[in-house]
Amino acid sequence: MMSALNLGPCVVLASALALLVACSGGGGSGPGATSPETSSGTFNPAATNQAKCSACHAPFDPGGHTREDLERILGVHQKEKRVTLSQDDWQKMIDYLAKK
């Protein structure tokens, strides 16, 4: 029987594996997948925020960050290809999320 002391590394490994799978982009719903669109085929920043951002962390709160902060934060996501968006869609996302 496994003791509680030996169970810790198993839990850590299982958690890390689950996070890796969730953020891998496979299956079309995680980071790296294309963005949700409206029924008309246009980019929907609210749906993208909910579907893509929440795959790895809490969705951003619209108006909760300055434009400068979002450009820095989302710039890292774009550079590391955590989510694949066109340059125009990245700008729409920043416009949607930035403090007015």
| Full-model pTM | 0.61
pLDDT for 37-87, tens place per residue? Answer: 655 678 999 999 999 888 899 999 999 999 999 999 999 999 999 888 999
With the C-alpha atoms ordered 25, 50, 85, 66, is the resulting torsion angle positive or negative?
A: negative
Q: How far is the C-alpha of 47 from the C-alpha of 93, rounded, in Å?
A: 10
Give bridge partners of residue 98 from the DSSP assignment. Answer: 65
pLDDT digits (tens, 9 = 90+) for 78-93: 999 988 899 999 999 9
Give CA–CA dist 82/38, Å, rounded: 21
Helix 87-97 × helix 67-79 angle, to 10°: 140
